[in-house]
Amino acid sequence: MIIARTKEELNRYLKLVRTAKKTIGFVPTMGALHKGHLSLIKCSNAENNFTLVSIFVNPAQFNNPDDLNKYPRNETVDLDLLTSESCDIVFIPEVDEMYPEEDKRIFDFNGIDEVMEGKFRKGHFNGVAQIVSKLFEIVRPNKAYFGRKDFQQVAIINYLNKNYLPELGIDIVSCNIIREDDGLAMSSRNQLLSVSERQSAALISQILIKYARNFSEYSVEELRNKITDEINLDKNLEVEYIDVVDDENLQTVSEIIPEKTTICAAVYDGTVRLIDNIAIT
């Protein structure tokens, strides 16, 4: 596995790959890798000749400096995992490499960035768009892989790709959420949970799944309130939002349509903020 830390290094290797007419699959990450990330790499390996992973904790998408400082980092473990999954190149730039000067670009996402995560994390998705667009321009992959756990982020990246970067011809692939045995969606932030908080965290998906299965018994407002109240019963958990949204425009629905509606949640488990979502089928 090749490790590149500068754009110049990376472009040197990618030139050889493109000359050999190999297809490139790209998995952008912020490190602290887990089985969810590894599943994206497996998908890329199955569909491309060559897989590239980036590890970059992007300061532009953190609206809370404490959250940025606490974000887990362990490059040695990450590199071992990537080697075991047959990653071909890993790109690990420093902040100055990706932001040699302030990025002042502002993206318009036609409102899908203003709900849910966007409502509570101002500027978050603009920061995501800044770094993803930079990485897409550098790597120019055939396909890029993202996990459905970040449901709204996938919608943002699809919009970015279609409306701002169509000339790159990148195919965005959304992959299934990978869960622990008790249902908790795998996340780098899970490493920050105490033993007690980790036990509580499993309740989030269990409650979402229960109400997704029985959605026909409730109105949308009742569903949101029932989920919120049940999660908040746990001493460690506090709901930030529960929303029931249209899969296309991410707006709150007035009526649930199976296969076209998703329940989304953001919950504080102690001081750790967790997100999850369940599609209604």
Give the residue numbers marked as catalytic. Answer: 37
Indicate if the alpha-carbon torsion angle 30, 32, 34, 39 is positive or negative.
positive
Which H or E run includes 95?
Answer: helix 95-98
Q: How far apart are CA 194 and CA 180, in angstroms?
A: 16
User: Residues 54, 24: contact at Cβ < 8 Å?
Assistant: no
> Per the structure block, which two tokens stand in for 159?
């919009």
> Per the structure block, which two tokens stand in for 118?
């966007």
For helices 220-232 and 195-213, angle between their N-to-C axes, nearest 10 degrees: 160
Which H or E run includes 244?
Answer: strand 237-246
End-to-end CA distance of the chain: 41
